[in-house]
Structure 1
C-alpha cells in the first residue's frame, strides 16, 4: 500500500490528483492540506 498526502488539495490540480488516486487500488490517502479550507473535514469539501 502506498500512503499519500496531497498538499494544496482544494486547487484544480489537487482535486484532480485526489480523484485519480482515490480510484487506485494500491493508494491509501493519509492527509489533504489546504490553507483556504483549514479545519474543514475532507468529507465536507468533497461530498
Structure 2
C-alpha cells in the first residue's frame, strides 16, 4: 500500500465516526482523537474497523 492509499483507508474509517470532520484541515502529526473530539468508544470502534 502506498501512503496515499493508507491515508484514504484511515479517513474512510474516520468518516464513519466523525462524518462532520474536514480531513483536509487536520494538522499533520496531531492527535486524531483530540482534533476530532472522538470519545474512547468511537476510537475503539475505529481501531476495530481498521483491523
Question: Which category describes the TM-score, using the shorter chain as reference length?
Answer: under 0.3
Return the structure number with greater helix share.
2
> TM-score, normalised on structure 2?
0.26
> TM-score, normalised on structure 1?
0.26
